[in-house]
Amino acid sequence: MSERTGRPQAPRERAEGRAALVTGAARGIGAATVRALAAEGWSVLAVDRCADDPALPYHLGTRAELDAVVAQAAAGPGQAHGLVADTRDRAAMAAAVAEAERRWGGLDAALAVAGVIAGGVPLWEMPPEQEEAVLSTDLGGVLALARAAIPALLRRPEPRHGRFLAVASAAATRGLPMLAAYCAAKAGVAGLTRALATELRGTGVTANAVSPGSTDTPILAESARLYGLPGAASFAAQQPLDRLLAPEEVAAALAWLAGDGSSGMTGAVVPVDGGLAL
């Protein structure tokens, strides 16, 4: 039974011998994804910048949070190792991929989960440094991981079952006021995912994304502040589920997409949004 929902859980797919890299791993959906993969037997390199961005007015994940996630993940059947690296830095992503290959002999899945948010004003009033922070992390970071990780996925011998996964958002298809840069970045992630799927044709490596709705994370708390709302719970009414999503619900979809069950999918942007995009 799920402790959160009280509903029976499907048997977990076992993934011993497979290695994954997850960005944005210190908290939120990234942290939940590290735990979900490790619970299924994956070896996981949990990557986070573990530092605030001076352009953004809220705190990002910390090294202490990353260490706690790694300890939780390592307590299960899988393995986990933490690495401090900025997803926007192509050299850092290349080094992270090399570390995963060194530790576990290869890479089978790369998950671009790291994200930030900023706005609260129309685009033309948004400080340029905040716009750059959103675009460089939410889209540029996905591009940087793809450039570094996909060659590693292709280095696995055939028949391959590599997975490149990214986190888009319901904001990729909905025009959200005062979040134009965020919407643009997430729409870019969706387009990138579809393009990668075509470029990976015939390789055995797939590219897919998930589009979360309002999920109970620090990004949603910052969104509430930007809109002048009392808290993240204010967004629950937007979703037909009439509640916020838990990070673990989005992570469950990512973990499934990383496994063999998603073998018939590529180029998909899967809504895990409580019906927000309806």
Query: Which residues carry out catalysis?
Result: 182
Q: Residue-wise over 181-190: b if at least 16 C-beta within 10 A, else e?
A: bbbbbbbbbb
Asked whether the beta carbons of 111 and 153 are under 8 A apart, the reply is: no
Query: For the chain, give me the number of helices (H) and strands (E)?
Result: 8, 7
Tokens of 267: 């180029």
Q: Which amino acid is at 62?
A: T
159 prior amide bond cis, ω within 30: yes
The residues, ordered by sequence, that sit 6+ positions from 197 with a Cβ below 8 Å of its Cβ are 206, 207, 208, 266, 267
182/171 Cα distance (integer angstroms): 7
